[in-house]
Amino acid sequence: MPERMPDPISRRDWLTAIAAAGAGAVGAPGVSAGPPPAGRPPLEPRPILPLTSTSDVFTPSHGRAFMRFSFPFPEPSVEFAGYRFGFLVFTRENAYGLDASRMTAERTANGLEIRCTGLVWAGGQQSAPGRVTAQLRQHGDFIEWDITAELDQPIKAVTTVIRGVPRGQVSAAGNEPFDPRDNELLYGYPFGAGDLFGANTAWGLSTPLVIVQRAAGDCVFLASLDDRVRAKRFFFQPGEQAYRLEAVFEAEGWKDHTTLQVPTWRLGRTQTLDDAVQAHYDHLERAYHLEPWESRRDAPDWVRRIALVVTLHGMHYTGYVFNDYARMLEVARWVATRIPPDRVLLFLPAWDGRYYWDYPLYRASDRLGGEAGLKRLIQESRRLGFRVMPMFGANAANRRQPAFARMADAATHKIDGDRFDLNWVDWDNDRHQEGWLSFMNLGVASWREWLTGRIAEAIERYGVDAYFLDIAGGWVNNPQADMHQGMRQLVLDLRARYPHVMPCGEMHYDALLEFIPCYQVGLGRAARYARAFSHLSHPAPGFGSSGVHESGFSRFRHETLGLAPGTIPTLSVVDDTFTGHQTMMEAVIERAKAAAP
């Protein structure tokens, strides 16, 4: 096992600084000196601990590792309530630490106040003007803190570095905890903090909450108490006994903050993982006005009766047709003989032609049966009692479509300026991801108005009951506009015009729960507020085809349709499902009927 790199400041120097501070020494390194400002009661000074980025972590890393500085970067820290807190500041051009020689830490009536009147960069070799203030407070088993950073240039992010979090099993957003061993972990909120497919890939969080379960009856959690959708990242870096844990807040890319107020962070201890989750969801309910599924007012009455979703796959990216409109209608008529149609939602992916390639046109496909065939499918299905939901891409447009010029200004870039494309799928199996799709920002008017118009046309022309927004949980910190607010505006504008038409999203993050009541990816703890059905890639009876989805095949097991709480059983229908596997279809329908309330 490799040895750990020694810190440039010895343990003896550290203990000397602490001892001097404890004796009330004036002028000890990093210790507040001099009388308090007029009108403020005397405060108790606290020592500044001369830590660096290599302090108390494996160097080199012992397991999976992420990029890091190749030298010790200053991280002067202060001990509070059994943890050590330090801070880093990032602009759009560099990383900055706090200048320990210009840093004070003083006890207050209910916590600790840290002030710094200068920054360092180049690993401490250079200095820069700037101010950072942090207020830490303790409330029982919880510690909360706020940070204000001031620079003479826009601030991109502020990180709190926390040492002393014990190692254990890690839970992301309340999901099942696991043992990461000596691996470093990076989580991002939401959608991997907008870097779900980058080189420094972060696992995505549906809400900014991580938990370490040390043992039975001992959990430590870290959460952001923000009331807006803004990027957060959590980085776990192990040492022998504890983690060096980074809590990163990234400012809105569409704003230039030279003074940045970081929303409150909370670090706490609970006896159980459920207690930690509940404490966080209490905050979410207040922040985003979340209502339980049973009483939420934006879920139409009809959706509460849905016992089964039938996914009728249309046309693959390559042009392969699984079901045309006439076959979809034939399947619907057959399903109506097995289960009351008013208990069934028909989901229509790739109803508009080549999957994703024809985005964002959203019009009837001639090869599937044309305008007349689509109208007949939807109108007759609804006459039988079915509810019908076509699919739209919330943030995908093919740059090679002539119409793209009308919304080209909504193509997404990340906060550092690099283009963010929807380029993580290999649809044609040339073993290379496609590169013709732009990831679009609903916060930009041109794209929001275009997509709103296409959805409104489908509602008015065909009378559909719901609309599906693919990659609804996709969020990027785009310098042009706020993606979340754009999504919210689109949904609320459509709801104002069509109050009984339901929006449905592919995956969620916490703030989406406020205005989208149904999803296609499991909700986990959020099942209290919404419902879900099985993903588009859910295997069809038979060989387990994923239909228009790119994943191909997986094993079909109708006996596993018990599903997670809040999930509606789903039947996928591809080209051979109806002609070759009706017995399996009937088994799924019977299971859905048995599970229905």
* Domain final residue pick, 255, 288, 321: 288
Residue 21 pLDDT exceeds 90: no
- Does 571 lie in the same domain as 528? yes
Higher pLDDT, residue 3 or 304: 304
Could you read off the pLDDT of 321-332 as tens digits, one per residue?
999 999 999 999
pLDDT digits (tens, 9 = 90+) for 393-415: 999 999 999 999 999 999 999 99
Residues 338, 352: Cα–Cα separation, whole Å: 28
Do 273 and 399 belong together in one domain?
no
Of 193-207, 383-397, 528-542, the one with minimum mean pLDDT is 193-207
User: Do both 89 and 238 map to the same domain?
Assistant: yes
Looking at the fold, whether 251 and 356 belong to one and the same domain comes out as: no
**Whole-angstrom Cα distance, residue 334 to residue 317?**
27
Is 293 a member of any domain? no
CA distance to 114, 305, 578, per residue, from 330 (Å): 70, 23, 9
Neighbouring residues of 527: CB distance < 8 A, sequence distance ≥ 6:
293, 564, 565, 566, 567
Q: What is the pLDDT of residue 175?
A: 93
Pairing of the two strands 232-238 and 185-189: antiparallel
- Residue 245 belongs to a domain with what CATH number? 2.70.98
pLDDT at 24 over 70: no
Residue 295 lies in a domain: no
* 194 vs 517, more confident: 517
DSSP-based three-state secondary structure for 52: strand
Query: What single letter denotes the amino acid at residue 275?
Result: D
First to last CA, the chain: 57
Q: Domain boundary at 247, 263, 288, which?
A: 288
Structure tokens at 182: 């000596």
Q: How many angstroms separate the CA atoms of 69 and 54, rounded?
A: 9
User: Number of folded domains in the chain?
Assistant: 2
Same domain, 382 and 330: yes
pLDDT tens, position by position, 49-83:
999 999 999 999 999 999 999 999 999 999 999 99
Q: Does any domain span residue 544?
A: yes
Q: Is residue 34 part of a domain?
A: no
- When pLDDT is averaged across residues 581-597 and rounded to a whole number, the result is 92
Section 168-188 average pLDDT? 96
What's the pLDDT at 565?
A: 85
Cα-trace Rg, the chain: 27
Domain identity same for 509 and 406: yes
- Please compute, for residue 26, the number of CA atoms within 13 A of its CA located in the half-sphere on the CB side: 3
Q: Are strands 570-573 and 308-312 parallel, antiparallel or unpaired?
A: parallel
Helix H, strand E, coil C: the string for 233-272 is EEEEEECCCEEEEEEEEECCCCCCCCEEEEEEEEEEEECC
574 — pLDDT class (breaks 50, 70, 90):
very high
CA–CA distance, 367 with 355 (Å, rounded to integer): 13
Percentage above 70 pLDDT, the chain: 91
Among 230, 203, 191, CA closest to 420: 191
Q: Which of 30-44, 56-70, 100-114, 457-471 has the lowest mean pLDDT?
A: 30-44
Whole-angstrom distance, CA of residue 438 vs CA of residue 267? 38
Give pLDDT, residue 200.
63
Do 436 and 579 share a domain, yes or no?
yes
Band (pLDDT 50/70/90 cuts) for residue 198 is low
284 and 351 inside one domain: no
Average pLDDT, the chain: 91
Q: Is residue 162 part of a domain?
A: yes
**Same domain? 435 vs 462:** yes
pLDDT in tens, 237-256: 999 999 999 999 999 999 99
Helices of type H across 440-524 = 445-462, 483-497
Neighbours of 572 (CB within 10 A): 30
- pLDDT tens for 366-378 read 999 999 999 999 9
Q: What is the pTM of this model?
A: 0.90
pLDDT value for 216: 82
pLDDT at residue 421 tops 80: yes
pLDDT tier, 522 (very low <50, low <70, confident <90, very high otherwise): confident
C-alpha to C-alpha distance for 439 and 422, rounded to whole angstroms: 5
589 lies in some domain? yes
- When pLDDT is cut at 50, 70 and 90, the band that residue 217 belongs to is confident
Size of the chain, expressed as the number of residues it contains: 597
Quote the CA–CA distance of 30 and 20 in Å, as a whole number: 11
Structure-derived torsion over alpha carbons of residues 319, 325, 331, 333, reported in degrees to the nearest 10: 180
Q: Is residue 567 part of a domain?
A: yes
Check whether residue 235 and residue 275 sit in a common domain.
Answer: yes
In sequence order, the 6+-apart residues with CB closer than 8 A to the CB of 274 are none
- Rounded distance, CA 101 to CA 127, Å? 11
pLDDT beyond 80 at 42: no
Both 197 and 339 in one domain: the answer is: no
Least confident of 30-34, 339-343, 444-448, 566-570: 30-34
Give the model's pLDDT for residue 167: 97
Q: Which domain does 17 fall in, by range?
A: 11-29+49-288
Does 199 share its domain with 264? Answer: yes
Task: State the DSSP string of 294-332.
Answer: TT-TTS-GGGGG--EEEEE--B-TTS-BS--HHHHHHHH
CA distances from 409 to 322, 351, 439, 482, 591 (A): 35, 27, 11, 14, 48
Instruction: Please identify, among 232, 254, 288, the residue that sits at the C-terminal boundary of a domain.
Output: 288
Residue 249 lies in a domain: yes
What is the CATH classification number for the domain harbouring 536?
Answer: 3.20.20.70
**DSSP for 141-186, written as a single string:** TEEEEEEEEE-SS-EEEEEEEEEEEEP-EEEETTS--B--TT--EE
Q: pLDDT at position 10, please?
A: 36
Q: Give the pLDDT band (50/70/90) at residue 593.
A: very high
- Using DSSP bridges, classify how beta strands 83-91 and 155-166 pair: parallel, antiparallel or unpaired: antiparallel
